Amino acid sequence: MAKEYDVVVIGTGPGGYVAAIRASQLGLKTAVIEKRDLGGVCLNIGCIPTKALLKSAETLEKISHAAEFGLEVGEAKVNFPNVIKRSRGVADKMSKGVQFLMKANKIDVVRGKGLLAGNGEVKVVDDSNKETDRLKAEHIIIATGARSRELPSLKFDNETVINSERAMKLEKQPKKLVIAGAGAIGVEFAYFYHTIGTEVTIIELQKYIVPAEDEDVSKELAKIYKKKGMNIMTESSVEKVTKKGNGVEVIVKTKKGEEKIEADMVLSAVGVVGNVEGIGLEEAGVKVERGSIVVKPNTYETDAKGVYAIGDVIGGPWLAHKASHEAVECVERIAGLDPIPVNHKNIPGCTYCHPEIASVGLTEKAAKEAGYEVKVGKFPFQASGKASAAGANDGFVKVVFDAKYGEWLGCHMIGENVTEMIASPVLARDLETTGHEVIASIHPHPTLSEAVMEAVAEAYGEGVHLGTPPKK
């Protein structure tokens, strides 16, 4: 006989566990189903452990530049197994934190894989596909997340071609690494491995690396990465990977023809795809398009009554904070509340390479293509006193405004700690703040964050620190 609940959540990533907690807070009897570690990809094999790896690389880089700060230190050496061990320790700690939250909120945790069984029931099976439990609920939330996309030319084998999960758990540091795909995942691992001494080649199909970002940001990161010594090949693709000795031979298609690169392995970072297979979606009448579950705006209900979906499994942007906000809105509507809808046009994106990248809203190119006449302002960290004091002059803040009505269309940053700065433009855009209001609001000096105000002032011809003539 099925155990009865008000809400059953399949998956415990940043969407699933947040949905469960909010449901419990609202007095709904709740259970979660999870086949792996609590916390999902983000906490266990994504956002959190990669940031731990990147921090190790950043620390090594800062030590190597200690003399620039008047400090004398010995040579720093990389203990690769210990770097990996620290990363896994951070992830394990966060996963245990989710376990604590489940217990504190009186949420039942059911281990196994959840499959929709019809009539409001979810069947739970083990690795051998044997049914171990059955749950029934008026509301079922699918939060199964996403996984690395696998291309025909880049089949994962954990040796010659690896995915991001394998890349953060390697037993031995590769001497040469080819990274296919220069989105957020690709450039983060490129920074990590290059900084600790691996020879890195980045291959990107598009014209620019981090192609989703503003072109000025993409060009800036490429310039910095090339200066660091990374090999970047854009408008190129990996056609074939062949095992050769203890490593691989990679055939790369470029505008000039084919090139051969020898490496220890290839990291495929060409995007993600939703986990929609094998959970009973088709049988339940849940519609799937292009690998993502189709849901109704704001309610997140699928075509199957009482079945909802949130997070990566409903499509991009594939971000933890998007999933968490969708979770809260979905559950609050289930509970009969009237929450503020998630503004899907104002979701910030962060890339934790070094320098960091953060952005929200339209790029300059996208704004112009949408028909806006724009005002654009840019403030380089070279002109920032705080950045100079910190030895972090790379990058800039760029803002895009609608020239007619003053709407803040987009904000794009590359530089030290900019992922900590993007929240203020997100809030300002939600509040429909104008450029003149930003200029008039006092930003503390010296800080990196005042570069946002300076960039806005430049857009309106009121900047005072770059010597730019006023705009007429």
- Which domains, and CATH codes, for the chain? 3-148+273-334 (3.50.50.60), 161-270 (3.50.50.60), 355-459 (3.30.390.30)
Per-residue pLDDT tens digits for 309-337: 999 999 999 999 999 999 999 999 999 99
Structure tokens at 260: 């051969």
pLDDT band for position 151 (cuts 50, 70, 90): very high
CA max distance for the chain: 76
- Annotated ligand binding at 183? The verdict is yes
> Is pLDDT of 29 > 90?
yes
- Annotated ligand binding at 306? The verdict is no
Contacts of 308 (CB under 8 A, 6+ apart): 139, 140, 141, 142, 295, 299, 300, 301, 302, 330, 334
pLDDT band for position 51 (cuts 50, 70, 90): very high
Question: Taking a C-beta distance cutoff of 8 angstroms, is the pair 387, 393 a contact?
Answer: yes
Q: Measured between alpha carbons, how far is 438 from 452 in angstroms, rounded to an integer?
A: 9
- Annotated ligand binding at 37? The verdict is no
Supply the pLDDT for residue 230: 98
Report the share of the chain in percent with pLDDT over 90: 92
Mean predicted confidence (pLDDT) in 244-256: 94
Mean predicted confidence (pLDDT) in 77-96: 95
Mean predicted confidence (pLDDT) in 195-212: 97
Alpha carbon of residue 77 to chain centroid? 29
Query: Which ranges of 257-371 does DSSP label H, i.e. alpha helix?
Result: 281-284, 320-334, 364-369
Supply the pLDDT for residue 133: 94
Mean predicted confidence (pLDDT) in 41-51: 89
- Annotated ligand binding at 184? The verdict is yes
- Annotated ligand binding at 133? The verdict is no
Distances (CA, A) of 213 to 182, 205, 392: 11, 15, 21
Per-residue pLDDT tens digits for 210-242: 999 999 999 999 999 999 999 999 999 999 999
> Is pLDDT of 277 > 90?
yes
Supply the pLDDT for residue 120: 92
- Annotated ligand binding at 335? The verdict is no
On whether the pTM is more than 0.75, the answer is: yes
> Is pLDDT of 468 > 80?
no
- Annotated ligand binding at 188? The verdict is yes
- Annotated ligand binding at 228? The verdict is no
Q: Measured between alpha carbons, how far is 166 from 178 in angstroms, rounded to an integer?
A: 14
Q: Which among 18-27, 44-53, 284-293 has the top mean pLDDT?
A: 18-27
> Is pLDDT of 258 > 70?
yes
> Is pLDDT of 470 > 70?
no
- Annotated ligand binding at 312? The verdict is yes
Rounded to the nearest integer, the mean pLDDT of the chain is 95
User: Beta strand 396-402 with 408-415: parallel, antiparallel or unpaired?
Assistant: antiparallel
Question: Taking a C-beta distance cutoff of 8 angstroms, is the pair 103, 269 a contact?
Answer: no
Per-residue pLDDT tens digits for 333-378: 999 999 999 999 999 999 999 999 999 999 999 999 999 999 999 9
Q: Where are the beta strands (DSSP E) in 20-175?
A: 30-34, 108-111, 113-118, 121-125, 131-142, 146-148, 161-162
Question: Taking a C-beta distance cutoff of 8 angstroms, is the pair 13, 39 a contact?
Answer: yes
- Annotated ligand binding at 114? The verdict is yes
Supply the pLDDT for residue 471: 63
- Annotated ligand binding at 186? The verdict is yes
Place of tokens 């469960």: 20
Supply the pLDDT for residue 410: 98
User: Which residue numbers are catalytic?
Assistant: 445
Mean predicted confidence (pLDDT) in 125-145: 95
